[in-house]
Amino acid sequence: MTKTETHVPVFATTLQKTHEWLQELELLASLRNQAEAYTVLRQVLHALRDRLPTNEAAQLGAELPMLIRGFYFEGWKPSAAPGRARSLKAFLETIGPLPSPHAAFDAEQAVRSVLLVLDHRISIGEMADIRHAMPAELRDLWPAYAT
């Protein structure tokens, strides 16, 4: 079998896009490597997914690169009601274990960093829909220029 027979362009494309997302997150959050960026992205996306109404969670998933979409939907139970974390503190507590690249890194910084990446890479309309589906206190996590 030759290289051309085994190369599937869609896999190469999604792998490249995923690396770009992880590199951006690594820089924004001052993480040590892409493995930490993956953990942060996965944990925050799961917290967002589980807090959003089912339709909105599915629409966000549809805009993610294929590889990221795979771990975004991993373990998802759409029949379960969205999480009821209405306060910022309660929402941040739903985020799974995170790396500790530096003393100031916490769940809030993780969420803010992931939201910046999403803001750069997801359509404006979808980001607005996600933001408005969240309780008011959680909307404060979005970049200041978001509406």
Dump pLDDT digits (tens) for 78-90.
887 777 778 999 9
91 inside domain: yes
Spatial distance between the Cα atoms of 21 and 60, rounded to a whole number of angstroms: 15
Confidence band (pLDDT; 50, 70, 90) for 114?
very high
Structural domain total, the chain: 1
Residue 51 lies in a domain: yes
Residues ≥6 apart with Cβ < 8 Å to 71:
42, 45
Residue 104 lies in a domain: yes
**Per the structure block, which two tokens stand in for 45?**
């996306």
Supply the CATH number for residue 47's domain: 1.10.490.110
What would the pLDDT profile of 51-98 be if each residue is shown by its tens digit? Answer: 999 999 999 999 999 999 999 999 999 887 777 778 999 999 999 899
Domain contains 12: no
DSSP 78: T
Enclosing domain of residue 97: 24-139
Spacing of C-alpha 15 from chain mean position: 16
Residue of 110, 100, 104 whose CA lies nearest to 43: 110
Please report whether residue 14 resides in a domain.
Answer: no
First to last CA, the chain: 52
